[in-house]
Amino acid sequence: TPLQNDLGEFFTAI
Amino acid sequence: MLEARLEQANLLKKVVDAIKDLVQDCNFDCNDSGIALQAMDNSHVALVSMMLKSESFSPFRCDRNIALGINLGSLTKVLRCAQNEDILTLKAEDAPDVVNLVFESAETDRISEYDIKLMDIDQEHLGIPETEYAATITMPSAEFQRICRDLSALSESVSIECSKEGVKFNCQGDIGSGSIHLRSHTNVDKPELNVEIDLTEPVSLTFSLKYLVNFCKASGLSNQVKLCLSNEVPLLVEYALSNNSYLRFYLAPKIGD
């Protein structure tokens, strides 16, 4: 099964 | 203070309905450009981004930046007290404890008024980079909803492949596999049925169907949905509303096998 990425890996907190 | 009058309560009802299963407590950030909301789901996989521009309201007044921390379950309860066609006015003071909602029936003289207690929500705000997507698919929102529902019966994930041949939604599950292939399509009489594929390079990404099915709850807001994809970045699913307002969802891709 493919693993689910976390959105935090793409968008950074501001 | 904030005062924002919507011609039809239906718009806010549909927006809240579309996002309430994904996010629970949210700040509605109000300023002179309109009312915005950004919230990530608990598992940090999906993000909701809503913008209701001031032009979507008439009148709209917001003198200072105000964050209204609202529980969407509470908001849903109150919005159920509004008829779809009621005129809805949102009001709040500059440092509010409550948000006030007034529902007016255009047909009768009924005016109802509700206050919802506000919450202090310390929410992380994410910077979403401007992205030139490799593929943009504009298609009927009902078609996208059907594809997601159909494939979710077979599998947890869908791969979306976009090439010169069109867009292919593929899934593999325990009972078998399924695929739906769409090509660009123009219907002069019913433009809401158009499928437009704008491709700069081929894309193939895998996403969780559970989240996509959830996003599709917004289908009633717009006849068409826009899917924006680039390899190895989150998918953008956009429902455009009148006056440049929008409801957007971002979904992190799945990787590897």
List the single residue in B with minimal CA-CA distance to A4. B254
**Counting Cβ atoms within 10 Å, is residue B237 exposed (0-12), middle (13-18) or buried (19+)?**
buried
- Using one digit for the tens of pLDDT, what is the confidence trace for B24-38? 999 999 999 999 999
Q: How many residues are recorded in chain B?
A: 257
Residues of B whose CB is below 8 A from A3: 254-256
Asked if B208 and A3 come within 8 Å (Cβ–Cβ), the reply is no
pLDDT the model gives residue B113: 98
pLDDT at A1 over 80: no
Interface membership of B46 toward A (CB under 8 Å): yes
pLDDT the model gives residue B58: 95
Shortest CB distance from A7 goes to which of B45, B129, B255? B45
Chain B, residues 185-224, CB within 8 A of chain A, namely 206, 208
pLDDT the model gives residue B193: 96
Instruction: Work out the average pLDDT over B100-110.
Output: 94
Shortest CB distance from A11 goes to which of B126, B254, B255? B126
The Cα of B129 is separated from the nearest Cα of chain A by a number of Å equal to 7
Asked if A4 and B256 come within 8 Å (Cβ–Cβ), the reply is no
pLDDT at B256 over 80: no
Instruction: Work out the average pLDDT over B105-128.
Output: 92
pLDDT the model gives residue B122: 87
DSSP secondary structure letters along B190-222 = -GGG-BEEEESS-EEEEEEHHHHHHHGGGGGG-
pLDDT at B61 over 70: yes
Alpha-carbon dihedral sign for residues B170, B165, B220, A5 = positive
Asked if B45 and A12 come within 8 Å (Cβ–Cβ), the reply is no
The Cα of B204 is separated from the nearest Cα of chain A by a number of Å equal to 13
Instruction: Work out the average pLDDT over B166-195.
Output: 97
Tell me how far apart the alpha carbons of residues B255 and B175 are, in angstroms, rounded to a whole number: 22
Structure tokens at B50: 């809503």
pLDDT the model gives residue B257: 58
pLDDT the model gives residue B106: 83
Provide the mean pLDDT of chain B: 96
pLDDT the model gives residue B124: 80
Segment among B116-125, B139-148, B236-245 with least mean pLDDT: B116-125
Structure tokens at B101: 């909602």
What value of ipTM does the predicted structure carry?
0.94
Query: Nearest 10 degrees: CA dihedral of B199, B141, B226, B129?
Result: -130
pLDDT the model gives residue B26: 96
Interface membership of B180 toward A (CB under 8 Å): no
List the single residue in B with minimal CA-CA distance to A8. B44
Asked if A11 and B256 come within 8 Å (Cβ–Cβ), the reply is no
pLDDT the model gives residue A14: 82
Residues of A whose CB is below 8 A from B45: 4-7
- Using one digit for the tens of pLDDT, what is the confidence trace for B216-225? 999 999 999 9
Which residue has better confidence, B122 or B180? Answer: B180
Instruction: Work out the average pLDDT over B121-134.
Output: 90
Between β-strands B25-31 and B34-40, what pairing exists: parallel, antiparallel or unpaired? Answer: antiparallel
Cα–chain center distance at A7: 3
CA angle B163, B168, B170 (to 5 degrees): 135
pLDDT at B175 over 90: yes
Interface mutation target, options B22, B45, B160, chain A, most CBs of A under 10 Å: B45
Which alpha helices (H) appear in B92-176, and where do they start and end? 141-152
pLDDT the model gives residue B211: 98
pLDDT exceeding 90 applies to what percent of chain B?
94
Which residue has better confidence, B202 or B122? Answer: B202
- Cβ-contact B253, B159 below 8 angstroms: no
Instruction: Work out the average pLDDT over B239-251.
Output: 98
Other CB atoms within 10 Å distance of the CB of residue B108: 8
